[in-house]
Structure 1
Amino acid sequence: MNKVQRVIKPLITTAIVSLLLSGCATPPPKNTSNLCEIFSEHRSWYDAAAKVRDKWGVPIHVPMSMMYQESSFKHNARPPMRWFLGFIPYGRASSAYGYSQAKTVTWDEYVKEANRFWASRDNFDDAIDFMGWYISKSQRLNGVSKWDAYAQYLNYHEGWGGYKRGTYNKKGWLIQVAKKVDSRATLYAGQLKGCEEDLKRGWLWRMFFG
């Protein structure tokens, strides 16, 4: 094997593996307007969300409504590419990526503080755990209730320092988005009350009685 082959072969292998993994990625839920249907379609998501609730004290409907706003539950979501003169790409608006649209710097802070060095932004379990950590820290740093989806989303978008400085007050569009997140959280909370008992039941129960 010559030098060129030694360089190219690992690159080809990596590309093939990445392609195969992307083909196995969890697709977004068919009906994102109903939390019961989301969890019914992706049962493991409820288990992950419940673990976050128990670990961080965060109600399930808050991070789920925020995640919908950020990525529409797409595992590889990222900001759109920016273009110079309409046809020359020159990068994205930020490093936000994955279900939670976490920026690289904030994600690295989470990984260190939560001791989750194996976590990945395109993994649902990791992404919602990140959101639980962030919401919990917003409560600790800025006194925002973990149940307040409106203020929590403003923290999430502007950062803890930005929220404290009130940067969102000059962004009318952002306030409207935060209101939408809050409305969706209320909707999700009501829906979850009607189906959570079923979601708590294990696969064996569902096999015989579901």
Structure 2
Amino acid sequence: NWGRILLLLPILLLAACSTPQPKNIGDVCEIFDEYYDWYNASKAVDEKYGIPISVSMAFIHQESKFIDDNRPPREWFLWIIPGPRPSSAYGYAQALDATWAEYQKSSGNWGADRDDFEDAVDFIGWYNTRTIKRTGIQPHDAYRLYLAYHDGAGGYLRGTYKKKPWLINVAKKVDRRAKQYQRQLVQCQEDLERGWFWRTLFGEETKVLTVPLG
């Protein structure tokens, strides 16, 4: 009946606006081929903040697996009663409410959304740049940047991560992912750059046609 339809309408509209997770999150070339605007957004972060594309994408892979509305799982009481979530982390970058508000104020982008890829990847660039200025970590050092991303620059400088073997293991995984993404980018970035002109003229789905010689 119409009452049920009206109740479901906001949910349906929200689902329609959601961006599906990329089909192969292990291959950055396939991710960018599927969502070419993500390449442009990640490249813009590299140019603006100096954070390599591979590092930003490795962070998002770890934080949300490229799921736009990702949240930490709820705690459950007696396995049946839903409890609170462990934090306010949300979106591609799993940014906390307070940290996101600080980013909005600092960047002047008051309309930024955590479930918008362009905003989330810019947040990662902004956050890592602040970390670099305070700690001296190199922009390509995904391992140390991730330790500071999780524990904050102050926590990193105090060495809080040293008592968290699980965090060290996760940071190593992020570093391996960043290096893997970088190797993949070497193979496809020229095509991505070449494809910009054609995609701009003819749309996202246009592929660059190559004619085999001989």
Structure 1 length normalisation: TM-score?
A: 0.89
Distance 2:147 2:112 in 1: 25
Pick aligned residue for 2:183 from 185, 190, 206: 190
Q: What per-residue deviation string (whole Å, max 9, x for no partner) do you get for residues 181-204 of structure 1?
A: 000100100110111111113214
Question: What's the counterpart of residue 21 of structure 1?
Answer: 14
Distance 1:208 1:196 in 2: 13
Matched, 1:168 2:182: no
Question: What's the counterpart of residue 67 of structure 1?
Answer: 60
Distance 1:109 1:14 in 2: 35
Alignment of 1:57-96 (within 5 A): 57-96=50-89
Matched, 1:128 2:128: no
Pick aligned residue for 1:150 from 138, 143, 151: 143
Q: What per-residue deviation string (whole Å, max 9, x for no partner) do you get for residues 117-152 of structure 1?
A: 010000000000000101111101111111100001
Distance 2:30 2:22 in 1: 8
Change (3 A) 1:133 1:15: farther
Distance 1:18 1:138 in 2: 38
Distance 1:199 1:14 in 2: 43
| Partner SS, residue 82 of structure 2 | strand
Change (3 A) 1:95 1:208: closer
Q: Report the alpha carbon displacement of residue 116 of structure 1 after superposing the two structures with TM.
A: 0.7
For 2:121, the aligned partner's letter is I
For 2:96, the aligned partner's letter is K
Question: What's the counterpart of residue 49 of structure 2?
Answer: 56
Question: What's the counterpart of residue 139 of structure 1?
Answer: 132
Distance 1:39 1:207 in 2: 12
Question: What's the counterpart of residue 4 of structure 1?
Answer: none
Change (3 A) 1:106 1:174: same
Q: Which runs of 5+ in 2 are unaligned?
A: none
For 1:135, the aligned partner's letter is N
Change (3 A) 1:20 1:142: same
Question: What's the counterpart of residue 102 of structure 1?
Answer: 95
Structure 2 length normalisation: TM-score?
A: 0.87
Distance 1:57 1:45 in 2: 17
Q: Which runs of 5+ in 1 are unaligned?
A: 1-8
Number of equivalent positions: 200
Distance 1:43 1:58 in 2: 19
Q: Report the alpha carbon displacement of residue 16 of structure 1 after superposing the two structures with TM.
A: 2.6
Q: What per-residue deviation string (whole Å, max 9, x for no partner) do you get for residues 10-42 of structure 1?
A: xx9796335313223111111111110110011
